[in-house]
Amino acid sequence: MGKKLSGTRGRGGKHHRGRGRGGGSHSSHARHLDIDERPDSAIDDVGQAQRDSDEEEEDEQVTIDVPVAMWDFDHCDPKRCSGKKLSRLGLIKELKVPSKFRGIVVSPKGTQVIAPNDRDIVLKGGVAVVECSWARLDDVPFNKISSPHERLLPYLIASNPVNYGKPWRLNCVEALAAAFYITGFDEYAERLLSGFGWGGSFWKVNQSLIEQYRQCSTADEVTRKQEEIIAQLNANWKQSRKERDEEGDDLLVANPNHQQWDAHSDDDEPPDSTDGSDTSSVR
């Protein structure tokens, strides 16, 4: 839709500009020129301007130029499933077993973590995930999911509403975004996450981790960096527990500011230091 044609009359289809002080001194021809030659009104065009702006935003959306796919085993509630939402948004292709995928497949059956030097594989073949429930991994026919490039994800933290703050428990869109971030396709990751109200928190929660992994090159280097990160987290946790225990021994009266924390704290175990073998089973 373009702008109004010259000669288009104001709202209501009537001319009113000749009325008021001095209005009677102008001829009808002058009044006609006055309307036809005036600049387009910002008020008249506000609706069109908004539509033009919306169209420009749509045109500026990033196009993901590599395949993005998933094997969906219908384990999850469709209303909460991030993979199904990506499908509704037209951002992912659903694969059927035993379809083959030539790009990176984020899978618990992978033997190495994804690394920055996987970028060329992503560029040529894209990224796929297995959309299934964490509780039903044994029901997934992984032997029928074929790819020459199966990968694990390194230590990352979920930001989705179901598993927020839990290490390893990434859902489908987070797993895809993680793979794109680590291999240097930030815009693709952000395009996928943009479909979710909480999507922006994934980068905020994991920025430090992802940037450390991106300083590596190979899977071995990423694995070593992951081990360093987990070791540091465990050391921090032990130090925190030691300080809390020492504080409790020194105080004759319990600090009321700590009572609620001590009664309800889940911080009785160190950070999850599993090897990440199920980091890519997503929901």
Binding site as annotated, residues = 82, 130, 153, 168
Neighbours of 121 (CB within 10 A): 19
Distances in whole angstroms, Cα of residue 257 to Cα of each of 56, 236, 247, 267: 53, 22, 13, 16
Q: Could you give the CA distance from residue 66 to residue 117 in angstroms, rounded to a whole number?
A: 17
DSSP 32-62: HHHHHHSPPPTTTTHHHHHHHHHHHHHHHSP
Report how far residue 144's alpha carbon sits from residue 178's, in angstroms, rounded to the nearest whole number.
24
- Helices assigned H by DSSP within 1-154: 28-37, 46-60, 82-88, 119-125
Residues 131, 137: Cα–Cα separation, whole Å: 10
DSSP-derived letter for residue 79 is T
Which residues contribute to the annotated binding site for S-adenosyl-L-methionine? Answer: 82, 130, 153, 168
Look at strands 127-131 and 68-72 and give their pairing. parallel
Tell me which residue has tokens 């993979």.
83
> Alpha-carbon torsion 143, 145, 151, 154, what sign?
negative
Judged by DSSP in three states, 99 sits in coil
